Amino acid sequence: MFDLVLGTGNAKKLIELRLLLPVDRFALTALSEIPDATDVEETGTTFAENAELKATVQAKHLGRWVLAEDSGLSVDALGGAPGVFSARYGGQHGDDAANNAKLLAELEGVPTEKRTAYYSCHICLSDPQGNPRATASGTCGGLIRTQASGTAGFGYDPLFEIREYHRTFAELDLVVKRAISHRSRALREFLPKLMRIAFS
């Protein structure tokens, strides 16, 4: 078993990560289970920079292998916003309702065909010395609806429509979301790299 810390405090992201990683090969520990985990300031200007910061700083602090990810929403009509500020777009970190309300206000009057957007996810694995050892990324495109729909998921999922399904991420079955989401795509690229490092 390979000891791996999942460098996120977001409970719903943890569920997705645990579902996508082979638990028979990895002993997975969440940051919330580690009393002396450090708070890493996300000062990067890109998702990739923030993922690397969260992985390397935490790994060096704990002396353990850490997998960290940074993800968020980019809206074309808003020049890529909210981007790296996705989690705190509405003011307070992790306030999904405020973030969604601000996004809808910013897009008021923007026609459907110009409400294109995409989710991005960047993953970084750091060794216990704080060296980045593997990275991967994934994206998923869609449209921002004019009102929320669905109760599953988190973040901007109730507003983010997958055009092929005519449903939001919050309306889609978890099996479908696992197949097409930005996080799933990043993890599928990342997993072979992780397995080589962990078990070669």
For the annotated catalytic residues, the residue numbers are 70
Say if residues 118 and 141 touch (Cβ distance below 8 Å): yes
182 is in an annotated binding site: yes
Could you give phi then psi for residue 193, rounded to 5 degrees? -65, -45
60 is in an annotated binding site: no
102 is in an annotated binding site: no
71 is in an annotated binding site: yes
**Nearest partner of 194 among 138, 132, 130, 140, judged by Cα:** 132
153 is in an annotated binding site: no
Say if residues 21 and 187 touch (Cβ distance below 8 Å): yes
156 is in an annotated binding site: yes
12 is in an annotated binding site: yes
45 is in an annotated binding site: no
Cα–Cα distances in Å, from 71 out to 2, 23, 57, 136, 196? 25, 23, 18, 12, 24
Say if residues 115 and 73 touch (Cβ distance below 8 Å): no
Say if residues 146 and 113 touch (Cβ distance below 8 Å): no
Whole-number Å distance between alpha carbons of 12 and 170: 13
41 is in an annotated binding site: yes
Could you give phi then psi for residue 159, rounded to 5 degrees? -105, -15
26 is in an annotated binding site: no
> Which residues line the annotated binding site for substrate?
8-13, 71, 154-157, 177, 182-183
> Which residues line the annotated binding site?
8-13, 41, 70-71, 154-157, 177, 182-183
> Which residues line the annotated binding site for Mg(2+)?
41, 70
